[in-house]
Structure formats: C-alpha cells, structure tokens
Amino acid sequence: PRPILLTRHGESRDNVRGRIGGDSVLSDPGEIYAKKLANFVEKRLKNERTASIWTSTLQRTIITASPIVGFPKIQWRALDEINAGVCDGMTYEEIKKNMPEEYESRKKDKLRYRYPRGESYLDVIQRLEPVIIELERQRAPVVVVSHQAVLRALYAYFADRPLKEIPHIEMPLHTIIEIQMGVSGVQEKRYKLMD
C-alpha cells in the first residue's frame, strides 16, 4: 500500500479576510502549518525516496510546500482552486448583498452552479480527471497541496462519496488526510496538526 496525503494550503491572508479566490500569501498561522507539514512529511516519507509533492500554481500552495525538501515538486493548473469568475476576491457577504440572485442559485444547487465567467464544482471535477489518472498510475507516495473545492472532489473520488455530497464535504485547514490504497480497498487517517 502506498499513501496519498491530501492537504489544503496553510491559512492564507484571504482566508482571514473571508475573501474567496485570489492569490494571496499565508497568514502567520499558515506559515507555521507549512513548517509542521514539512516535518510530518519528512518523517512519514523518510524511506520513500521516489515520493513527489504536487501543488497548484497558486502562491498559497507553493509557499505551503516550500519547507518540504528532498522531494520533487510539480505544479498543476488542474489543482488550482475553483474559479469564482466575477466573484473572485469577494466575501460571501458581498456576494449576498451585491449579487443576491447568484448567491441564491448557488445555494440551491452548489454542485451545478457556475460562477459567471468562472467554474462550477462539476467543471472542477472534470478538469481533475488527468490528475486522478496520474495519481492512480503513481506507485510512490504523493503529497497533494491544494484547495478546499478541489480537495473535496479528489477526496470524494477516493472515498467513493456521491457526487451530490461533494460541495458540502468538510475539508478543514491544517489537517492532513492520508489515503491508503491497498488490496482490501481504501483506508483513511486524519492528522490535525494545529487548530
């Protein structure tokens, strides 16, 4: 069995401000998480010389992975966060106030709702297909440092969760989800590295 480790980036400055999307750097707690993650990965993958670290192309995942040394890193655009289109950079409160119809349609069908000039969860699920194929093909451990919406979709694939649940899966910050693919199916462990 070989592990796949899934984690969100450390808390970003936009997370603190409640802003979605964007390309901000980490908050102070986010920076601490990056160091704790590196520590965890170095211990967990000590004897796994062929492991690799996959990030999105956004700063907050690249910075989160930066303290991890000794493994190759690959940036995937397909691991970027759901594109919130015209709502990029807004808070949910601002969307509710300035674009109430958009807010309501998303609430009604979060899976299918597509942000104007952006993406839906279904779009994200579709663009993850090459990532999933490559993850399945890998024989060595992979650490995936990505984003909430993307990780919901990836996790649902491995944990065999129904499509309609995907936008609502809990995906906390500063927590590693370890997926073990073995002969007897998929096993899961969670490591909460900080609050």
Which sequence positions are flagged as catalytic? 8-9, 15, 60, 81, 147
Smallest separation (angstroms) from ligand G3H to the CB of 89: 10
Asked if residue 5 lies in contact with residue 65, where contact means CB atoms within 8 angstroms, the answer is: no
Cα-Cα end-to-end distance for the chain: 29
Residue 182 and residue 4: Cα distance in Å, rounded? 11
Tell me how far apart the 2 most distant CA atoms of the chain are, in Å. Answer: 53
Residues 172-191 binding ligand G3H (CB under 6 A) are: none
20 versus 53: smaller Cβ distance to ligand G3H: 20
For ligand G3H, the binding residue among 11, 80, 81, 119 (CB under 6 A) is 81
Residue 64 and residue 67: Cα distance in Å, rounded? 7
Task: Please name which of 8, 7, 5, 68 lies closest in space to residue 38, comparing C-alpha atoms.
Answer: 68
41 versus 148: smaller Cβ distance to ligand G3H: 148
What does 130-180 look like in DSSP terms, one character per residue?
A: HHHHHHHH--S-EEEEE-HHHHHHHHHHHHT--GGGGGG----TTEEEEEE
Residue 128 and residue 116: Cα distance in Å, rounded? 20
Q: Which residue is nearest to ligand G3H (CB)?
A: 148
For ligand G3H, the binding residue among 95, 149, 156, 166 (CB under 6 A) is 149
Residue 87 is a binding residue for ligand G3H (CB under 6 A): no
Residue 21 is a binding residue for ligand G3H (CB under 6 A): yes
Residue 109 and residue 180: Cα distance in Å, rounded? 32
For ligand G3H, the binding residue among 79, 82, 125, 156 (CB under 6 A) is 82
Smallest separation (angstroms) from ligand G3H to the CB of 9: 10
For ligand G3H, the binding residue among 55, 120, 146, 148 (CB under 6 A) is 148
168 versus 189: smaller Cβ distance to ligand G3H: 168
Residues in the site for ligand G3H, rule: CB under 6 A?
20-21, 81-82, 147-149, 167
